[in-house]
Amino acid sequence: MKNMHAERAVDYYSRNFNCTQGVFTTYAIEHGFDEKLALKLATNFGGGARKGESCA
């Protein structure tokens, strides 16, 4: 299952979503979130919420 999560996150990243969007959305969908909502919620964190430190 771990590899499946990594593959999904990389797929989002390869489609020009940021790293946080990929990781968060991968797990959020499993917990009943709508994909579009999850992507929107995670958007600012990929840029470090303007600080550059949230996503490593």
Q: Name the pTM for this structure.
A: 0.77
Q: Is residue 35 part of a domain?
A: yes
- The reply to whether 22 falls in a domain is yes
Give 4-24 pLDDT, tens digit per residue: 999 999 999 999 999 889 999
Angle at 43 between CA 33 and CA 6, to 5 degrees: 65
Identify whether 8 is part of a domain.
Answer: yes
Note whether residue 11 is domain-resident: yes
Asked if residue 55 is part of any domain, the answer here is: no
User: Is residue 39 a part of any domain in this protein?
Assistant: yes
The set of residues, in sequence order, having a beta carbon less than 8 Å from that of 31 and lying 6+ positions away, is none
Exposed / middle / buried, residue 36 (Cβ in 10 Å: 0-12, 13-18, 19+): exposed
Residue 46: is its pLDDT beyond 80?
A: no
pLDDT, averaged across the chain: 85
Range of the domain at 35: 2-50
Task: Give the model's confidence band at 56: pLDDT under 50 very low, under 70 low, under 90 confident, else very high.
Answer: very low
Is residue 56 included in any domain, yes or no? Answer: no
The first and second tokens of residue 38, run together, are: 């999850």
Q: What is the mean pLDDT of residues 22-45?
A: 93
Q: How many domains does the chain have?
A: 1
